[in-house]
Chain A
Amino acid sequence: MSSGGEEGDYVPWIQQFCDLFGHDYFVPVAQEFIEDDFNLTGLSSQVPYYREALYTILDYQVDTIEDVTNGTSNSDKQDLPTKSLLSHSAELLYGLIHARYIISKPGLTAMASKFERNDFGCCPRYYCDGMHLIPCGSTDVPGQETVRLYCPCCNDIYLPSSSRYLNIDGSFFGTTFPGLLIKMFPEIENQCRIRINKVNQNELGLKLFGFRINESSISGPRMKWLRMHPKSIEQRHEFENCELSIPSEDEMDDEDDEDEDDDKTMASED
């Protein structure tokens, strides 16, 4: 479908795909990566018309039913995809290759510079102070969920602010990508740490005419834990105990008995 155009204004399929409206989260996958069959292991069973789709992405001539309507026999025609089927398959295949490419070294670097340029937008949360977001999927299976954005600062996932990204499959970015990106580029975690340390956790929560609402009230603060970070010495100690599992109720009870007074002062501080 793409090789039919004139030689002069020829744009590679991958470039065309990345330039489409709403496709600005994608990076162009390197030709060598696609040509290496090892990178495509298992994709042939997930994508209909796999070979034709692959040729389309690589800008080879592909016949569709529309191209051969006159002259050829019916048996040839039955195996051929229609144009719309083929372009759908090509997009699906490209998306799945993309998910693999962005967790390879060149892909990670390409996505990191997009992240740096703020191509994926800022975290909408006020206390994250405009932390850049990272695209991710909540599943690696295509056709389930649209793309989500991960904020490494608040450690949460958000919906893209513009509806143009609502038809982009999350599996084209995959579940692994954000975790790998922040581990490969420790600078991202440093940026987050600075932001987290700036926030005074005791100031959070609703106030009515300057007074904080009590925890026992149903409109009281119930979600502070979601954004909390261990700050005090007791909290850091607790945090260390969470290394492998959450300390059980009994252990917690024991600690409660030992220093009940301490516990009370802590509770009032909260």
Chain B
Amino acid sequence: MTSRNGITEEYHTDSSSDFTEYWIDLFLGIKGHEYFCDIDEDYIRDKFNLTGLNQEVSKLSVLIDILTDIIDIESQPEDQRDALEHNARVLYGLIHARYILTSRGLNKMFEKYRNGDFGYCPRVHCQLHPLLPIGLNDQPRLASVKLYCAKCEDLYNPKSGRHAIIDGAYFGTSFPAMFFQNFPQAIPVHDRKIYTPRVFGFKLHDYSQLSRWRELQRNKLEKSLVQKGIDIYNKPGGFVIDEKEEIKN
């Protein structure tokens, strides 16, 4: 495993003499990896946090050493480097999905959420509400990452193709739910506006009927919540009540 030939050793010492780059920093610097946050080394080294991951990637201990910069990937046999680098990225992603559910990870992701690193909701009525990454599966290689908007509670595809190829399992299915359990102050007030297509100012009948039915569903929900004694008007998790809007409808 650690056998190295003279050329790589020379190359290795040459490149590291000027400055040392951490693997995680390099990983985070790759274009398209803007959704990831950095994971503490302690978290990666704690074997308990990696339970079960040896089923997803081979040579787990070597990969951990690569992630934590104990061994340099250049010191590995040349024919294995690509596979190791690939597996190291997969491992980082899978650890990332677990790390962002811890309180430290959540705080780091909150910072990124506030900066809009995950983009903003393209829906007009959401008024550029920041998004959160979410996976559709917790197993890797099934579906790419999607973005969750808390205002319309819907899923969107990432705008850029670079983000659209990232595995959703690196964020996991639980992340947004955990996020809002931890930061209830980040829960938005939902908007009640519905768009209905109009022709020469007149609403199209079948669409308008659907809008009315949806409004009925919302009224039922509001009623049941109020009956449970939950204040939902202009409160986080509730609905925006605008008097002007009421009159228009």
Contacts from A to B (Cβ < 8 Å): 124-127, 136, 138, 148, 150, 155-159, 161, 175-176, 178-180, 182-183, 204-210, 213, 215-230, 235, 238-239, 242-243, 245-247, 249, 252, 267
Please state if A245 and B212 are interface contacts (CB–CB under 8 Å): yes
Please state if B214 and A179 are interface contacts (CB–CB under 8 Å): no
Please state if A215 and B153 are interface contacts (CB–CB under 8 Å): no
Residue among B148, B201, B218 with most chain A CB within 10 A: B218
Q: Which single member of B123, B177, B212, B213 contacts A219 (CB below 8 Å)?
A: B177
Please state if A205 and B153 are interface contacts (CB–CB under 8 Å): yes
Chain A to chain B contacts (Cβ below 8 Å), 29 pairs? A124-B156, A124-B157, A125-B154, A125-B155, A125-B156, A126-B146, A156-B195, A157-B123, A159-B122, A176-B200, A180-B199, A183-B199, A183-B204, A204-B153, A206-B153, A209-B174, A215-B224, A218-B238, A219-B180, A222-B239, A223-B152, A224-B153, A225-B221, A228-B214, A229-B210, A246-B215, A252-B216, A252-B219, A267-B224
Please state if A176 and B209 are interface contacts (CB–CB under 8 Å): no
- Write out the residue numbers on chain B whose beta carbons fall within 8 Å of the beta carbon of A176: 198-200
- With A219-B187, A222-B221 in contact, is A148–B216 under 8 Å at CB? no
B49 within 8 A of A: no
B71 within 8 A of A: no
Q: Please, which residue of chain A has its CB at the minimum distance from the CB of B158?
A: A124
Please state if A215 and B214 are interface contacts (CB–CB under 8 Å): no
**Residues of B in contact with A, size category:** 35 or more
B207 within 8 A of A: yes
- Write out the residue numbers on chain B whose beta carbons fall within 8 Å of the beta carbon of A228: 213-214, 217
- Write out the residue numbers on chain B whose beta carbons fall within 8 Å of the beta carbon of A207: 173-174, 177
Additional pairs, 8, CB under 8 Å, beyond known A127-B154, A136-B197, A213-B177:
A150-B195, A155-B210, A210-B173, A210-B174, A216-B230, A218-B235, A222-B237, A224-B217
- Write out the residue numbers on chain B whose beta carbons fall within 8 Å of the beta carbon of A124: 122, 156-157, 159
- Write out the residue numbers on chain A whose beta carbons fall within 8 Å of the beta carbon of B156: 124-126
B228 within 8 A of A: yes
B194 within 8 A of A: yes
Please state if B122 and A247 are interface contacts (CB–CB under 8 Å): no
Q: Please, which residue of chain A has its CB at the minimum distance from the CB of B179?
A: A219
Please state if A223 and B212 are interface contacts (CB–CB under 8 Å): no
- Write out the residue numbers on chain A whose beta carbons fall within 8 Å of the beta carbon of B190: 222-223
Please state if B152 and A226 are interface contacts (CB–CB under 8 Å): yes
Residue among A125, A176, A182 with most chain B CB within 10 A: A125
- Write out the residue numbers on chain A whose beta carbons fall within 8 Å of the beta carbon of B153: 204-206, 221-224, 226
CA distance A127 to B174 in the complex (A): 19
CA distance A243 to B216 in the complex (A): 12
Residue among B184, B195, B201 with most chain A CB within 10 A: B195
